[in-house]
Amino acid sequence: MTGNEQSSEGDGSREASYAPEVEAFARALSRDDRTFLVLRDELYAGRWEDVEADLRARLDGKPFIFQLATRIEEDLERIERLRRFESEHGVDLRAVIRALGLE
Residue 6 in any domain: the answer is no
Whether the pLDDT of residue 7 is over 60: the answer is no
Residue 64 in any domain: the answer is yes
Domain count within the chain: 1
Residue 5 in any domain: the answer is no
CA 75 to chain centre: 12
Q: How far apart are CA 64 and CA 58, in angstroms?
A: 6
Using one digit for the tens of pLDDT, what is the confidence trace for 56-101?
888 888 776 666 655 788 889 999 999 999 999 999 999 999 999 9
Using one digit for the tens of pLDDT, what is the confidence trace for 16-46?
789 999 999 999 999 999 999 999 999 999 9
Residue 103 in any domain: the answer is no
Residue 7 in any domain: the answer is no
With beta carbons less than 8 A apart as the criterion, state whether 40 and 48 touch.
Answer: yes
Coil vs helix vs strand at 79: helix
Whether the pLDDT of residue 9 is over 70: the answer is no
Q: How far apart are CA 46 and CA 39, in angstroms?
A: 8
pLDDT at residue number 10: 43
Residue 4 in any domain: the answer is no
Q: How far apart are CA 87 and CA 24, in angstroms?
A: 16
DSSP letter (8 states) at residue 12: S
pTM over 0.85? The answer is: no
- The dihedral region occupied by 46, where left means phi > 0, alpha psi between -120 and 50, and beta the remainder, is left
